């Protein structure tokens, strides 16, 4: 029979995402609700190895639900990628009397958690938090909805200038492997064209599309480009390519960059974080191990960590169609 869980540790790891603090809060409050002790681990897996712990109670997490970033901080740990590192981490957990661990992060965070849970007898649940929405087995990851709002608000500002000057703007948004941010923010910002990693649209299609736009009377244009798109050109080269192939376009480039990771989480992200945080604690108490708690059709679900980290392109074809139609 599984050991009764009376102390849970929680950490954040990898790139930060809006909603991480809200998720920590929900974990801590759920522990309090179920009379389980809760330990915060600072600086992710590195802090785990170093035993950088702090006891948390319901009052420790007041007034953080609306804060971006993560108050537990996050780092990359090279040491945790070694078996020795993970062994040290496990020792620290034992010393502290921790029975189970909740890890909040993305792909890399879950991979680390999976190794730890396979090598040592420690129940682990992951909460998906990354603005890229590139985790398998959950409809949404924490931070994604907030990032979409940040991107469309930024493009709204740029559109003021674009339409004042009849200019073409190329705007780079995050997304190395997943085009979800680009596709959704592109539709939301009314972009004329959207380049994503999952498609071989490339530079030529872009030129055709811009020619059509011009013919149909458009005088300014926004092109949203995911970091990882596949034209083989970076965004500045893409801008040059367009200038060479199209007359009459004054082109500007804007790389939105790190503003996309920060900011106060949207209501949807705060609610999702609350659901997943509660779900993670209840899952552990209920005997779930080595799993991610995700959201599917608005219900909390559990998925093996192995499944969650399978990077599968899941481009939403319906959404691509909507993008094409509404940018007519």
What is the four-CA torsion angle of 142, 128, 254, 201, rounded to 10 degrees?
-120
Among 16, 99, 132, 134, the one annotated catalytic: 132
CB nearer a copy of itself, residue 117 or residue 185: 185
> Is 154 a residue that touches a copy of itself (CB under 8 A)?
yes
Contacts (CB under 8 A) with a copy of itself, residues 62-101: 62-63, 65-70, 73-75
Q: Is 220 annotated as a binding residue?
A: yes
Total of chain residues touching a copy of itself, rule CB under 8 A: 87
Residue with tokens 């192939």: 245
**161 appears as a binding residue in the annotation:** no
- Contact between 74 and 43 under an 8 Å Cβ cutoff? The reply is yes
Per-position b or e across 217-248, b if 16+ CB within 10 A of its CB: eeebbbbbbbbbbebeeebeebbebbeeeeee
Instruction: Output 109 or 184, the one with its CB closest to a copy of itself.
Output: 184
Residue 98 or 278 having the CB closest to a copy of itself: 278
Task: State which of positions 10-69 bind a copy of itself (CB under 8 A).
Answer: 12, 15-16, 18, 20, 25-26, 29-30, 32-33, 58-59, 62-63, 65-69
Could you say whether residue 224 binds a copy of itself (CB under 8 A)?
A: no
26 is in an annotated binding site: yes
Inter-residue contact 220 to 161 (CB < 8 Å):
no
Task: Compare residues 150 and 231 and give the one whose CB is closer to a copy of itself.
Answer: 150
The binder of a copy of itself chosen from 83, 157, 176, 212 (CB under 8 A) = 157
Contact 220, 165 (CB under 8 A): yes
* Alpha helical stretches, state H, the chain: 20-33, 44-50, 83-96, 107-119, 144-165, 180-188, 202-215, 235-245, 267-285, 305-308, 317-326
By CB under 8 A, the residues from 244 to 273 that bind a copy of itself are 252-259, 261-264, 266-268, 270-271
Is 132 a catalytic site residue? yes
Residue found by looking up tokens 């005997």 in the block: 287
Q: Show which residues are catalytic.
A: 132
């Amino acid at each position: 029979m599984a050991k009764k869980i009376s102390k849970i540790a929680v950490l954040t790891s990898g790139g930060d995402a809006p909603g991480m603090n809200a998720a920590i809060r929900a974990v801590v409050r759920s522990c309090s609700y179920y009379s389980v002790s809760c330990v915060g681990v600072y600086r992710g897996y590195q802090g785990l190895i170093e035993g950088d712990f702090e006891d948390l109670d319901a009052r420790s997490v007041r007034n953080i639900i609306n804060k971006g970033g993560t108050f537990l901080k996050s780092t990359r740990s090279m040491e945790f990628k070694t078996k020795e590192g993970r062994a040290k981490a496990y020792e620290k957990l034992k010393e502290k009397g921790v029975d189970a661990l909740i890890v909040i992060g993305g792909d890399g965070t879950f991979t680390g958690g999976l190794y730890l849970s396979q090598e040592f007898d420690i129940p682990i649940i992951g909460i998906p938090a990354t603005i890229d929405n590139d985790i398998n087995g959950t409809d949404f990851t924490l931070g994604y909805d907030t990032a979409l709002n940040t991107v469309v608000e930024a493009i709204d500002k740029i559109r003021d200038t674009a339409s004042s000057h009849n200019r073409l703007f190329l705007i780079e948004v995050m997304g190395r492997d997943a085009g979800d941010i680009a596709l959704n923010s592109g539709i939301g910002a009314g972009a004329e064209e959207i380049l994503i990693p999952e498609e071989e649209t490339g530079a030529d299609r872009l030129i055709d599309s811009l020619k059509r736009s011009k013919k149909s009377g458009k005088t300014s244009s926004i092109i949203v480009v995911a970091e990882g798109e596949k034209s083989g050109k970076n965004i500045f080269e893409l801008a040059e390519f367009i200038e060479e192939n199209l007359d009459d376009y004054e082109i500007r480039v804007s790389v939105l960059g790190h503003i996309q990771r920060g900011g106060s989480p949207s209501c949807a992200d705060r609610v999702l974080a609350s659901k997943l945080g509660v779900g993670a604690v209840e899952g552990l108490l209920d005997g779930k191990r080595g799993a991610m708690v995700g959201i599917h059709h608005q219900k909390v679900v559990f998925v093996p960590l192995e499944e969650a980290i399978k990077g599968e392109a899941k481009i939403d074809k319906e959404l691509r169609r909507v993008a094409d139609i509404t940018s007519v």
